[in-house]
Amino acid sequence: MVTSIIRRLMQAMFVILAMTIIVFIGVSVIGNPVDILINPDANQAERARVIAHYGLDQPLWMQYLLFLKGLLQGDFGNSFVYGRPALGLILERLPATLELAVTALGIAIIFGLPLGLYAGLYPNRISSKLIMSGSILGFSLPTFWVGLMLIMVFSVELGWLPTNGRGPTAEVMGIQWSFLTGEGLRHLLLPAFNLALFKTSLIMRLTRAGIQEVLPQDYVKFARAKGLREQRVIAVHVLKNLMIPVVTIIGLEFGSLIAFSVVTESIFAWPGMGKLIIDSINLLDRPVIVAYLMMMVLLFVVLNFIIDVCYTILDPRVRLDAKA
């Protein structure tokens, strides 16, 4: 177990290192942050001073080495735009994104799993076919369009739910959470639903496919031949095998929910990390982009590890230490 954790962390380091290089080169190719940061009316001396202040007068490789040096001291650099530590900026926005992602994933599981189970167990019912056709809509309609439609219907036409922002928040352990206040919960509902739609369809289809794969297995037939009640055959023999692929996807999708909630956060003006990263890319705010992507790499590595640990619980054939 311990060796496995260490090996993974080492792998993560390499991925992070490679990623920082790509971001440095990428951002420098896109454009010069100086053009955006400095008032066009500024004189030459002022320009030179600002450029030197951000270290942008150095060659790119030198900037990169300086960045690495800072990193070793736990310093991700200051945001060009806000002038504050990039990491702090991101961590500030993390709770907003986290509660959005967790709510969306919750919705996706609560609806996706049972509907997929139903459609898988009774594939010939009309209701199952309706569910499956619905799921096609769920993942083919573009998120931004669905988001706009949700606002049109529920906010503009019906006036039931607010259109943007987090609403009032309540503080727990020094962090602001929306879901703790009634009004905040109302603000959370539309963006979470918007974000969940695609994942719900995905989990639904995955569950259905899994059921159809597990049901014809001999061990299911043998369980029936033992005279087990149908509930036990489904709840124990089928579900436990089904959970192996489903847990993988849920874990990975949670990562992508956090990392790519950009569109939804933009549409609903949800002050999360997604909105921050889009703004930062627009302003070529390199320290924030780098710090954000590094966090995402770490997030995926940690999630993958958690998935693997879940595997060993779900599937006795898998042992973490066995594969060296």
Report the interface residues with other proteins, using CB under 8 A. Answer: 216-219, 221-230, 232, 236-237, 240-241, 244, 314-317
Token pair listed for 31: 């454009």
To other proteins, the closest distance from the beta carbon of 218 in angstroms equals 4
43 vs 46, 78, 80, CA distance in Å? Answer: 5, 24, 19
Helix (H, G, I), strand (E, B) or coil at 170: strand
Helix (H, G, I), strand (E, B) or coil at 284: coil
Are the CB atoms for 167 and 181 separated by under 8 Å? yes
To other proteins, the closest distance from the beta carbon of 84 in angstroms equals 50
To other proteins, the closest distance from the beta carbon of 165 in angstroms equals 46
To other proteins, the closest distance from the beta carbon of 203 in angstroms equals 20
When the beta carbons of 94 and 310 are compared against other proteins, the nearer one is: 310
When the beta carbons of 249 and 314 are compared against other proteins, the nearer one is: 314
To other proteins, the closest distance from the beta carbon of 239 in angstroms equals 10
> How would DSSP label each residue in 141-169?
S-HHHHHHHHIIIIIIIS--S--SS--S-
Range list of H helices, the chain? 2-30, 33-37, 44-53, 60-72, 86-121, 126-140, 143-150, 182-214, 218-225, 230-232, 239-259, 262-267, 273-282, 286-314
Q: From CA 174, how far away is CA 56, in angstroms rounded?
A: 36
